[in-house]
Amino acid sequence: MSKTALLFAGQGAQVVGMGKDFAANEPLAKAWFDRANATLGYDLTSICFRGPEEELTKTEHAQPGIYLVSWVAFQLLKDRVPTLTFEATAGLSLGEFTALAAAGALSFEDGLNVVRQRGRFMQEACEVTRGGMAAVIGLDEASTRDVCAEAGVVLANLNCPGQLVISGEAGKIAKAVELAKAKGAKRAIPLPVAGAYHSPLMASAQPKLEAALKAIPLQPPTVPVIANVTAQPHGDPDAIRQRMVEQVTGSVLWEASMRHLLAQGFTRFIELGPGTALSGFLKRIDKSAQILNLADMASLEATVKAVVP
């Protein structure tokens, strides 16, 4: 029997228009978008559907926007395939909150509110630090760690073989980019982000997020949810809160998380939400895995066709 894991998109996947055709074609989707607006008290849906891009890319809008579109994709899949079962969930950075919500650890509304607050807290941390990030392509982990140590930055995302992301003070990232190229990286590219996510420069967001998480009820997940910072399943609600606070400054162990699931016998992975970044990473990790994605009506139809027995 094949085991299915659901994967949820992270920040950077946002694109103006995301979720629009879901709402236009599926009353269920429109109902969830309306519910999100009512929960937040502002028109997040309009920002997702129509932008402008500079509004959508603001961390406080991008994070709840991606959470919302990913959740709607999940609901549409369940509606179309009521017999579908999944045995684990995982999400990249912000997507870990969607993964927890899908596994019943927190309600849709609490997740949406916390993700919006998280986005705001991280934006505030960006504004008081001068941080940046860069993707390092084609350099192994050990060499990239040497670059980080020499430049004074940190390894933020270990996404897949040959695709790592570093994070730190803007000037030090510029130095790290040059060092990475000198060590043989195929490419080292500064990323268009507001700050140094998953680095110590985000530390000021941690106590605020900790307080926000303490204010909402959490339940044990109904299926394993893989934690970014450990690449292992989450524990009890108190441990979930702790891991999610650690995640703000900790490295995202995405490749290790996927390898954990593969070792547990997972063969089918469904990426939910805008973009196909997670599908791309997984292809680099294990070409034999069945990888589906669900970002719009066309990919919904294709995924339903692939999973219906």
pLDDT, one tens digit per residue, over 90-142 is 999 999 999 999 999 999 999 999 999 999 999 999 999 999 999 999 999 99
Our answer to whether residue 299 is catalytic in this structure is no
Q: Is the pLDDT score of 309 beyond 90?
A: no
Query: Would the pLDDT of 288 be above 80?
Result: yes
Percent of the chain with pLDDT over 90: 97
Q: What predicted TM-score, i.e. pTM, was given to this entire model? A: 0.97
User: Of 309 and 243, which is predicted with more confidence?
Assistant: 243
Instruction: Give the H/E segment covering residue 124.
Output: helix 108-127
| Average pLDDT for the chain | 96
Q: Which of 70, 93, 199, 251 is catalytic?
A: 93
Burial class (CB in 10 A: 0-12, 13-18, 19+), 83: exposed
Q: Which of 61, 198, 234, 260 is catalytic?
A: 198
Instruction: Give yes or no for residue 1 having a pLDDT over 80.
Output: no
Check whether 13 has a pLDDT greater than 80: yes
Indicate if the pLDDT at residue 21 is higher than 80.
yes
Overall average pLDDT of the 211-231 stretch: 98
Res 194: pLDDT: 86
- What number is the average pLDDT over the span 176-188? 97
Q: What is the radius of gyration, based on Cα positions, of the chain?
A: 18
pLDDT over 90 (residue 2):
no
pLDDT digits (tens, 9 = 90+) for 149-170: 999 999 999 999 999 999 999 9
| Crossing angle of helices 237-246 and 206-214, rounded to 10° | 160
Average pLDDT on 39-57 reads 96
Nearest-CA neighbor of 266 among 242, 298, 289? 289
E-assigned strands of 3-162?
3-8, 88-91, 131-137, 154-160
Beta-sheet pairing, 131-137 with 154-160: unpaired
Banded model confidence at residue 274, pLDDT cuts 50, 70, 90:
very high
Tokens of 51: 């932008």
Summarize the confidence of residues 58-75 as an average pLDDT: 96
Does 308 have pLDDT greater than 90?
A: no
pLDDT for 193 equals: 87
Q: Which helix (H) or strand (E) holds 304?
A: helix 297-307
- β 187-190/266-272 pair status: unpaired
Residue 299: both structure tokens together: 């990919």
Domains of the chain: 3-127+200-307 (3.40.366.10), 131-190 (3.30.70.250)
Residue 185's SS3 state is coil
Confidence of residue 74 (pLDDT cuts 50, 70, 90): very high
Closest C-alpha to 268, from 208, 309, 236: 309
Confidence of residue 264 (pLDDT cuts 50, 70, 90): very high
* Beta-sheet strand order (sheet of 154-160): 154-160, 163-169, 131-137, 187-190
Active site residue 61: no
Relative orientation angle of helices 297-307 and 59-80, to the nearest 10 degrees:
40
